[in-house]
Amino acid sequence: MPARLWPKEPRPVYASDKLLGKSTQDRIVGGRPAKDGEVPYIISLQRKGWSGGWSHSCGGSILNENTIITAAHCVDGAAASSLQIRYNTLRHATGGELVAIKTVKGHPNYNSRNIDNDVAIIITAKPLTISGNVGVVVLPDQGSDLAGGTQVTVSGWGTTSQGGSLPAALMTVDVPSVSREKCREQYGQEDITDQMVCAGIDAGGIDSCQGDSGGPLVQKGTNKQVGVVSWGYGCAQPGKSGVYANVGSFVTWFNANKE
């Protein structure tokens, strides 16, 4: 998706549109290839191109057999007929199963200017098969928050270069969460809302990037989803954490809109 500008500099961009900087990696920064069944809840959200072909656009996570969680900016303005998902595969372009989408529901308070409330639900046109290497995420308690220093895991097919090639295989990386207070020092008091959580290291080098948006941030070693990949300045830049929608802020809404 094309980059969206904020009215301030330096330009913040969605994780699906992050800038390269000086990195030459072609995947989640600092990550490794995922193993079969390691990230059983992830899906590739695919968008139909002008020529009629489909390509990976964002990530997402399986909440139940009918419901996918992703980022609002990944589906903002998109018709359900222009999107599909691929699941049960480590590769975004081959394998697994393709499923059409029945309904797209962006959060009603999503704000494209400050990227707040950046969550959405997708209802699939037919039930997914939850078995074998396919699993679901579990939600935290409504109103829960992510304490700084918690080990979390982010996964996706994203690159680190604007418009670069996507890696064939799913990548995953562990990273510590960053307190909201520290993240506000990095970005500005008004830029990081209570509906956002952050993760990264001061030195940089670990992050989500282009094509990872909408994907799950989970507590390490579990399937408890605590974040949705949302935005940041560049990819894995020192002193600039990745920013995620805070899942604990939206549990009631997810449960009210799932099928």
Catalytic (active-site) positions: 73, 118, 213
Tokens of 30: 């600092």
| E-only strand ranges, the chain | 13-14, 32-33, 42-48, 54-64, 67-70, 83-87, 97-106, 120-124, 151-156, 171-178, 196-199, 216-219, 225-232, 242-246
Residues 6+ apart with CB under 8 A from 35: none
User: Strand pairing of 13-14 and 151-156?
Assistant: unpaired
